[in-house]
Chains A and B, each alone.
Chain A
């Protein structure tokens, strides 16, 4: 089955810096790669996703890149702000319903 590894587990940056979180997956059949953000004590929420027919997707300060050959994908956050502080989870699946999540990255943005 699918296995997703996520790094780093913790990331501290200064406000305004960029943050990059990386994930690798094992199943070459996986074709859907979402990222979820979970603020402290709150529910996970989708922030961006990418499908295997696309190499990069952007939404304002957030971008995701996918390298199918290497089986890895990354989340890039530019101009970080304190409200970006949260735990970020990557996930992978074939189709939409059987997501396998990474272990999460705790991002701390210091003012």
Chain B
């Protein structure tokens, strides 16, 4: 596998469930991100990890809990979500340096909260 892969691609969960989204990058990058994409809204940055350390939490509710065990893997743990959390969750990676800002996105995990 190359690039950025996300699993699962689709997830339906109830408001009391606990589930996790997984992201893996095969690009040798040192930064990983979670973005939320809702209909008719801009892509919203949720979390940034540099060298496994969280460097940005964009005022995300605590029902979203990220985990970055190493520079290649990123998880988003979900619990007691609300219907308005239904969206496409995109993972991305980049090489955090002075020369490039290109984000490489995964194909996303489409989450539906019932």
Contact = CB atoms under 8 A, between A and B. Distances in A.
B48 A43 contact: no
A98 B103 CA distance: 11
A12 to B, nearest CB: 18
Interface string B29-63: 00101000000111111001010000110000000
A97 B56 contact: yes
B15 to A, nearest CB: 27
Contacts of B56: 97-98
A45 to B, nearest CB: 7
Interface in A23-53: 32, 34, 36, 42-46, 49
B42 A32 contact: no
A59 to B, nearest CB: 13
Contacts of B45: 98-100
B89 interface: no
Given A43-B108, A96-B96, A34 B42 contact: no
Contacts of B94: 96-97
Contacts of A100: 42, 45
A97 B48 CA distance: 8
A89 B4 CA distance: 20
B90 A44 contact: yes
A43 B101 contact: no
A103 B41 contact: yes
Residue with the greatest number of chain A CB neighbours at <10 A, chosen from B41, B44, B102, B106: B102
Interface of B: 4, 31, 33, 40-45, 48, 50, 55-56, 90, 94, 96, 100-103, 105-108
